[in-house]
Amino acid sequence: METLWQDLRYGFRGLRRHPGFTLIAVLILGTGIGANTAIFSFVNGVLLRPLPLPDPDRLVVIRETNPQRGQSPTVASPRNLEDWEKESQTVEQFGAWRDWGFTLATPEGPEGVRGGIASPSLFRLLGVEAALGRTFPPEENRPGRDHVVVLSHSFWQRRFGGDAKIIGQALTLRNQSFIVVGVLPPTFEQLGLWQFNVWAPLSVDPDQFKDRHLRNRRVYARLKKGVTLDQAKAEMDRIARQLAEAYPRENAGWGVSFPSHGQIQGAGPGGRLLPAGD
């Protein structure tokens, strides 16, 4: 202990004799401490703290796999998803989406906007309510009624200056008119889908039900209360076998898997719902 105090006294005397060096040392320490504090805040807020999802232990990712062909994509067929929704007794709600690029007409010229198309149930499944306006009701997921969009909070702030009058306004996207019906809350961007600035209903994709073998939907599901993961897997395996028998050309060899469960663990770093590259 006496040696420690001697070293400290020697250090303080040296710092007093060289004030310039002392200032630089303090600045370096302050920068290092600040950087570490910022990193800890990010890790704690994004990677460690649970995401704001209701009943996350009941959430699962569902995808189709074909072990015989060595295929394990992160997506599912829209036509098969329709049958899952009809037949499943263990899943309370399914939600689906895919990426969908938009070109926004602006006074400065066309602007590429990364977007997504989603089933109306996706936002309800994730417990997301619009910060402004609303999201999509089921009736807007139909051709002719689907030219509506919701905006991400950051895109609304950046492109439209946070103007609440954006609700009800028409945007020209893909050379077609879409009405803005809502703005998503900033917390939605914590789910990793923040790259998508504009969301429209799934039905704007004219090819979504063209062929059963077309697999391009990312599917999340919320299990019913009291249902175990094993029960849900067993049921979905049974439904997959039925679909393989009914539609052998498109579904032979295809089954389902649950790559993640509870806070969508495994779908992305920290359980975030990343749009690509699971």
Least confident window among 14-18, 70-74, 206-210: 14-18
Average pLDDT of the residues in 48-76: 79
Partners of residue 58 on adjacent β-strands: none
Residues 172 and 222 in one domain: no
- Does residue 105 share a domain with residue 190? yes
Note the pLDDT tens digit of each residue in 5-48.
454 455 555 556 655 544 444 434 443 444 344 334 333 433 33
Residue ending a domain, among 186, 204, 222, is 204
Q: Is 227 exposed, middle or buried (0-12, 13-18, 19+ CB in 10 A)?
A: middle
What are the structure tokens assigned to 89, written together?
């007794």
Do 98 and 116 meet the contact criterion of CB atoms below 8 Å apart?
A: yes
Digit-coded pLDDT (tens) for 236-269: 999 999 999 999 999 999 999 987 654 444 333 3
Question: End of a domain among 150, 178, 204?
Answer: 204
Q: Tally the residues of the chain.
A: 278
Give the pLDDT of residue 19: 54
Residues 139-151, mean pLDDT to the nearest whole number: 92
pLDDT value of position 53: 73
Q: Out of 152, 183, 204, pick the residue that ends a domain.
A: 204
Say if 209 falls within a structural domain. no
The confidence score (pLDDT) of residue 29 equals 45
pLDDT given for residue 231 in this prediction: 95
Query: What is the domain range of residue 41?
Result: 2-48
The total number of structural domains in the chain stands at: 3
Asked if residues 229 and 258 have their Cβ atoms less than 8 Å apart, the reply is: yes
Question: Are 61 and 134 members of one domain?
Answer: no
So what's the pLDDT on residue 14?
55
Res. 72: pLDDT tops 80: no
Contact 197, 151 (CB under 8 A): yes
Higher pLDDT, 88 or 48: 88
What percentage of the chain carries pLDDT values higher than 70? Answer: 73
Of 268 and 172, the one with more pLDDT: 172
Predicted model pTM:
0.74
Do 8 and 72 lie in one domain? The reply is no
Which residues pair with residue 104 across a beta bridge?
111, 173
